[in-house]
Structure 1
């Protein structure tokens, strides 16, 4: 960690600079600091209202010929410099655009008519540029703040679940701060890298956790989502770029898609204060049906007898072999699911924001504090404090624009070292009480490991995340704009795990010197980015031209130090590594990543209906050797808005129709730093007090970029003035030149060599998005949204697959997400043992030749359905998420009745005598050497996979806005539910999260209050 102090100094200087400069900057901007010559024009003022005469704040007003604009204030007023013969364009989401001639007037009153969709005015963030939804040539899915605010979540990924077609997001754990897996249109690369590129206010944001499994262990599996640092209530919109036309401008970084997060900004008007308070209650939504005590003991005794050890059950000498049968109370029953994961988690959230400003300068500052507990016993908790600010300014002549955005988040997570979920499912139902009569941990004469002993251990993690961005723009001449984006991120994680000897069974006679230890992880990821851009727009009659060119300079540094100390004089000194008898360095690494690119865009529009969009990028990455560092990527997108043809008049049922298509290439360099060099890693052991370095990578400068070729066709249709809108897409992505670890012989001393492999993966599918306004009256409105994705994936090519070490994982023509299993033939009625198909006919069942049954665990269909009903001031939102998929079931974790530890009640229906037709084999206690092979094979067979399709009530929100309040007071009261019900035939913990070792998603109820004034 030799650079850590240097980075900390830079970080402190940045904060000092920002907080000293910001007040002066706002004061200067408000004073009218100019950055360009003034235009000699008259000032035009006025008011914008709706058809009922109510003022409309936030309306965009633009002088058509000059691209000069402003925004109406809270009272609908506006003021803008314009010539006497100029045209003013008034636009706002949800209202029909209006064009008004100045005609020499100095005061103008404008009324805007409500439009159910106003498709042409829906502006989407495409990263380096913006585009209206009507004229986009690429596939961009979006979710707005009004949708996210109706969900009681603390991570933006949770708010996106089910809302965006082709975007599959799965929550890995119900523990606060846990991670998510994200896939946009499937898995493209064999190396398993599927995370998209995240961009927050123009700044790349690393989504990979710097947690270490050596510290976090089971509770997080090392996966702590950095995106927890972003408060969903601070987000204005999230756009997901999916096809080549939308992602190719990001080049090598866009192979897995791009997620653009735009935070909220201030609006012109009087200073406004907004307070948001909420409290949530969360519980596990589903318990497994487990064996009761009589059922469990019956199977245990039967298993011991079947294994031939029944006589020993009567011999007290052997009671220690089966304490659950002979030593523990046979009449005792504990529902361990309720004891260990049946608690109620509380989350309290408070946010205060201040916003406002003039037509030239707007500001927003918000602060949020959140505290959350868990369903586990003990005092676990998660705390988060977030600060977000934004300052925007335009000079008087509208030539110069400045936007400053800053986010700083502190997270403090204190969890038990172990997730109690596995123990909740497997502890014997007659296991002893957790505490003795004196309130101490009960070890029941050292006959069991008390699960609450892990509460003596600690797992703590703290993260600090800073992200800052400055966007500067200057209009050199009419239609020629120079922009520069400057970004900086600093992500720091420090964690520790303690293992005191008091957390172990006293029978082991452990002491602090012989056992107690602490493992610490100190990590840092720091990056900066500079992106100068030049944009030029020109209209030649009916032809519009939009040119963009720019360059990117990015640098990222990552450091991690993992240390373990063992042997302490006493547990009170366990936090002091200097008191440890031995200190081991488990991981000590630092890396630097440099990236440079040039990019460009050419957009041609003819007659506002024929659109051509060309994008290109040349990337350079330090992750490749000399001569391989640069790659070229690009795409072409076409769109034809055929509804603007003369054939379709004003009275046509078809109000909008567009055909679009795109083709292009993106790439990937997601292999880690320095993989082309000879590398060495700390071994974790030492020799005579000296740390050992072991070789970890072999020099190979010949590998290069992975490549992803994307093809898409789309059709968009709007009916009845866009009250019904359908967007359908077909896509095919082919990823080749795969970067994978090529296995090496053990005699080389290395397990693999990083290189390009001649393999091709294809992802294709169909996506459908539908939204409709079913009813729209003065008092009642009802709208519907629906999205669905039908993905398909296959391994098209893999030279030499049959003779490689990948032969047991992949099959040509099948997806990368398959598992190869034994084919279970059920239970033999005569022997009571599991049977399997002998594929090679040699009379034996082996793992190499007889695991030929293929199951695909990726979803075959998924999407969401939402309805919003508004009656007066009352709004009800209901959103359903659905998936059609197969997944591992309870057989995967326990296939034989009679083993020690509880299991699904299904095992009670077992084989007992010849002729029985059952689903489970004869009971066994696992005492016969080699006798559990059938159990192992069954857990890795087709019987362990079943249908896990579901329909989940993901979110219900009921909001009431208090009417007729004076003094501008705005009050909203809401009740929200998340993950309320799941309709499924799946019998495991959660059809989306099938592992029984991690806490499933929780059911949440939230009561909230929003006050604005």
Structure 2
């Protein structure tokens, strides 16, 4: 048959390219001569058994280990030889090997299979590992889960989803921080935050806020992690045990959080737009006293204190304007007025991605604006630009991955959280505004809460993250690579206190009161990590060796200044207009870090696995001779279902026993702690700023050490449709770095050193997932995780005589609080009674505060269900926690004070001899020593059960049927923090401080369009 001109031309083109590129192509020795197999472009469409296209399928040329990914419409193209074999794989479907056999078009149909453990690849930091072969404990959350949650911080998306990871949101105000603990609190002093790695670059999670600004503002910390857009994240892995964390050495004691951002994929250029809008409100209002109840107990308290005769006397009206001056029938629901508004969040994101077999790219930009539930125009704004580019040479030897992101945040909030006023203002307090619309001071008888809106808090942050990963394959199994990263985080914040916000009775003026405090902070860091990796496979044995070194340097600068006395309040933002300008604090520190690390992974018959990791760290935070520490771990795994006895099992499809032991450490104590250090105090001495001692010389302290032991069992049933992962762990942290307070006569606040103290954290973790139902139209799957932690202070030599004697007890957790023991209300006197523990006839903090309550969770976890019905997907996730927490008694234990409180104080107060009630006789609070109120607030009565089950997230997503080829449209409705089932009577069982806004309930409507 005569060949067509097009085919002849194509063959000539291939021949020309073959001759031109032959030096770069893999070589095969045939009969003593070099032979280069011809390459062709193989294309086709991948579908499921119903004929629906499958996007995201991995296609690999088996002999060359090069690959691509199918497009959303199932199409793909890849270059391969006529005798090669294509390997098709995607999670949830059975992998297929398809010989090319000279064909150029290969269409593939894939059969669903929920048992692809080997295809689930986890990021372990310096290397990747399949879920089937991992020896360490790595928890992961993927973009599919995160994108169903309307949150602005990646930590919020992780709450409840990962075993061993306890995350608490500090405030419902946008831009606020989170507390995170991975398997408990390991150290007496120091932060509990894990190490964060974003695309291979360490990211500082500690706020650069200043106490001079954060004191009494809406929140005490500004989370740098707000700079990371959750929509840009592909996955988050949390490394927990020694096998997973030891390769990070001194930085892995509190766990490691690996954040991987999205990358471009092979295929035609794709545009994706994502728009959403959210409404947020406070989830729960406290049941407070109304005007009648409040005034009744107020008058009763005044009467009980014998102050009736002073009522009606004008000069004493200052003490009780709510009783004598304000409207006695007036009622305002201050919770509704001050924190009952609706917060709006609008989010828009546009991304462009695509690329060829060799080069892929992604560029995305997003803008978010979020308001608060407070009155006024406070808001938080964030703009993010994220880009990645990946390139691989034709011969697959050289690769380059570049990732950069820039985030700008602008947070403008009132200085004070109005929640405390919402919970405590008298229900008959005056109106907020006069008839003319100005702030109402009601003849100077109250502090108008809206005046605080003029006290501004502002924070602007700029965050730059950049990473380059370069690799080159010297030989077939030998690869050189280097990771280079840079971060730049700057924070400019301020706080204003204009005189116009204060009650006119104080006669404050801009000249004698108004002030501005500013904070300019900056943290820059660079890191370089050269690495070499060698892999070798034999018939029944394989080895993977990794060696590398780390060079990192970090510099931190901070300058806090305060200006006082301004000609007028309109000039309050101009420090040069202040009468007095003082430096409150000034910091300029540098941190240098160097390490050598390595990993050896051995596998025999893919069933016996040994993983050895080690690291030698050097830190500038320790003195000479103490700067280096050695850390390492060993991990073992036996995939016992690979044994012949289990080959034909129809029930047990996967089984693995794993264990690990090793050491990590910590140098997270701040810079220059081994030197004599001084701080600018801001005090003025003859016009000169003064210095005060902040640290005393101690070159002998060294690394904290955390020894981690773990055992795990993983079981898969019915082709892994049911999968269980159970782990037991025990971490012992010793050689504790403790800052011990010193007497003021020494001139130094504390001495930092190593102490013979050991903290043990142990527990059991359970992860469960199942595919309950699979049919042509319906699929139902379930996930469940449970953590049962235990913690105790095993040893602390000299604890009884140390400054921590009132805080810690041998054998008890670090999370305990020592309280008085309340004996309740004396039925005859109506007063609180406190147990005289030591029997000395007096109640004292040191002798009688011996009641112990543990505020750490007893257990916690989450339960999720996903139902797919055609183009509709429904998700619901429940978070639960068993715990105790401070209740509202901590803030107010006596009825009758000039502040509103729980209605329980009205109904359950003592009124006459013989009453058995939980709350004492009413009191005005004006007679010092009239009750044991302050002792009761610090007693066990102030702690109660705060367990809860929370509907953390509900999501409904509808994939609109294709109206136009190549157009993907998804509409979704999401709810976050929707409903909480609890007996706790405060605002929120996790946010137990009444001076902070609790996390909000949010409803989100969104649209995704891709083409």
- Is the TM-score greater than 0.5? yes
Does residue 990 of structure 1 match 2:992? Answer: no
Which moves more between the two structures, 300-309 or 315-324? 315-324
- Equivalence for 1:341: 339
Q: Do the aligned partners of residues 719 and 48 (structure 1) sit closer, same or farther apart at CA in structure 2, a change above 3 Å counting?
A: farther
Which residue, out of 887, 907, 924, partners 2:885? 887
- Equivalence for 1:536: 534
- Equivalence for 1:202: 200
Instruction: String of CA shifts for 1:527-571, please: whole Å, max 9, x gaps.
Output: 011111111110121001000010111010110111000111111
- Equivalence for 1:286: 284
For residues 48-447 of structure 1, what are the structure 2 equivalents within 5 Å? 48-50=45-47, 51-74=49-72, 76-80=74-78, 82=80, 86-103=84-101, 107-447=105-445
Instruction: Tell me, in whole angstroms, the C-alpha distance in 2 between the residues paired with 1:98 and 1:455.
Output: 64
Conservation of the 8 A alpha-carbon contact between 2:218 and 2:414: no
Conservation of the 8 A alpha-carbon contact between 2:285 and 2:987: yes
Instruction: String of CA shifts for 1:922-961, please: whole Å, max 9, x gaps.
Output: 11112223224x1011000010000000000000001111
- Equivalence for 1:920: 919
Conservation of the 8 A alpha-carbon contact between 1:537 and 1:547: yes
TM-score (norm 1): 0.95
Instruction: String of CA shifts for 1:118-141, please: whole Å, max 9, x gaps.
Output: 111000000000000010000000
Displacement after TM superposition at 1:756 (Å): 0.4
Task: Name the SS of the counterpart of 1:696 in structure 2.
Answer: strand
Displacement after TM superposition at 1:363 (Å): 0.7
Displacement after TM superposition at 1:192 (Å): 4.3
Which residue, out of 567, 570, 585, partners 1:569? 567
Which residue, out of 44, 47, 64, partners 1:47? 44
Conservation of the 8 A alpha-carbon contact between 2:94 and 2:113: yes
Displacement after TM superposition at 1:72 (Å): 3.5
Instruction: Tell me, in whole angstroms, the C-alpha distance in 2 between the residues paired with 1:46 and 1:81.
Output: 9
Q: Do the aligned partners of residues 36 and 634 (structure 1) sit closer, same or farther apart at CA in structure 2, a change above 3 Å counting?
A: farther
Which moves more between the two structures, 88-97 or 722-731? 88-97
Displacement after TM superposition at 1:66 (Å): 3.9
- Figure out how many residues of one structure are paired with residues of the other and give that number: 980
Instruction: Tell me, in whole angstroms, the C-alpha distance in 2 between the residues paired with 1:824 and 1:61.
Output: 68
Instruction: Tell me, in whole angstroms, the C-alpha distance in 1 between the residues paired with 2:137 and 2:703.
Output: 24
Instruction: Tell me, in whole angstroms, the C-alpha distance in 1 between the residues paired with 2:250 and 2:180.
Output: 18
Instruction: Tell me, in whole angstroms, the C-alpha distance in 2 between the residues paired with 1:754 and 1:315.
Output: 57
Q: Do the aligned partners of residues 167 and 750 (structure 1) sit closer, same or farther apart at CA in structure 2, a change above 3 Å counting?
A: same
- Equivalence for 1:980: 978
Task: Name the SS of the counterpart of 1:228 in structure 2.
Answer: helix
- Equivalence for 1:1005: 1003
For residues 499-538 of structure 1, what are the structure 2 equivalents within 5 Å? 499-538=497-536
- Equivalence for 2:930: 931
Instruction: Tell me, in whole angstroms, the C-alpha distance in 1 between the residues paired with 2:962 and 2:327.
Output: 66
Which moves more between the two structures, 949-958 or 307-316? 307-316
Instruction: String of CA shifts for 1:793-850, please: whole Å, max 9, x gaps.
Output: 0000000111111110000000000000011111000111111221111122111101
Task: Name the SS of the counterpart of 2:846 in structure 1.
Answer: coil
Displacement after TM superposition at 1:651 (Å): 4.4
Displacement after TM superposition at 1:298 (Å): 1.1
Task: Name the SS of the counterpart of 2:175 in structure 1.
Answer: coil
Structure 2: give runs of 5+ residues left out of the alignment. 1-19, 27-35
Displacement after TM superposition at 1:709 (Å): 0.3
Instruction: Tell me, in whole angstroms, the C-alpha distance in 2 between the residues paired with 1:565 and 1:315.
Output: 42
Which moves more between the two structures, 541-550 or 739-748? 739-748
- Equivalence for 2:3: none
Displacement after TM superposition at 1:311 (Å): 1.1
Spell out structure 1 runs of 4+ moving beyond 6 A.
33-36
Instruction: Tell me, in whole angstroms, the C-alpha distance in 2 between the residues paired with 1:651 and 1:52.
Output: 29
Instruction: Tell me, in whole angstroms, the C-alpha distance in 1 between the residues paired with 2:648 and 2:218.
Output: 58
Conservation of the 8 A alpha-carbon contact between 1:676 and 1:701: yes
Displacement after TM superposition at 1:656 (Å): 0.4
- Equivalence for 2:14: none
Instruction: String of CA shifts for 1:840-874, please: whole Å, max 9, x gaps.
Output: 11122111101110000000000000000111111
Task: Name the SS of the counterpart of 1:223 in structure 2.
Answer: coil
Conservation of the 8 A alpha-carbon contact between 2:171 and 2:219: no
Task: Name the SS of the counterpart of 1:304 in structure 2.
Answer: helix
Task: Name the SS of the counterpart of 1:42 in structure 2.
Answer: coil
Instruction: Tell me, in whole angstroms, the C-alpha distance in 2 between the residues paired with 1:667 and 1:236.
Output: 29
- Equivalence for 2:831: 833
Task: Name the SS of the counterpart of 2:989 in structure 1.
Answer: coil
Displacement after TM superposition at 1:53 (Å): 4.3
Task: Name the SS of the counterpart of 2:292 in structure 1.
Answer: helix
Which moves more between the two structures, 206-215 or 773-782? 206-215
Task: Name the SS of the counterpart of 2:447 in structure 1.
Answer: coil
Q: Do the aligned partners of residues 75 and 298 (structure 1) sit closer, same or farther apart at CA in structure 2, a change above 3 Å counting?
A: closer
Does residue 619 of structure 1 match 2:610? Answer: no
- Equivalence for 1:450: 448
Instruction: String of CA shifts for 1:76-112, please: whole Å, max 9, x gaps.
Output: 4545555555444322222222233445555544332
Conservation of the 8 A alpha-carbon contact between 2:219 and 2:996: no
Instruction: Tell me, in whole angstroms, the C-alpha distance in 1 between the residues paired with 2:353 and 2:58.
Output: 18
Q: Do the aligned partners of residues 207 and 65 (structure 1) sit closer, same or farther apart at CA in structure 2, a change above 3 Å counting?
A: same
- Equivalence for 1:37: 24
Instruction: Tell me, in whole angstroms, the C-alpha distance in 1 between the residues paired with 2:575 and 2:311.
Output: 49
Displacement after TM superposition at 1:36 (Å): 8.9
Displacement after TM superposition at 1:308 (Å): 1.7
Instruction: Tell me, in whole angstroms, the C-alpha distance in 2 between the residues paired with 1:220 and 1:623.
Output: 33
Task: Name the SS of the counterpart of 1:813 in structure 2.
Answer: coil
Displacement after TM superposition at 1:344 (Å): 0.4
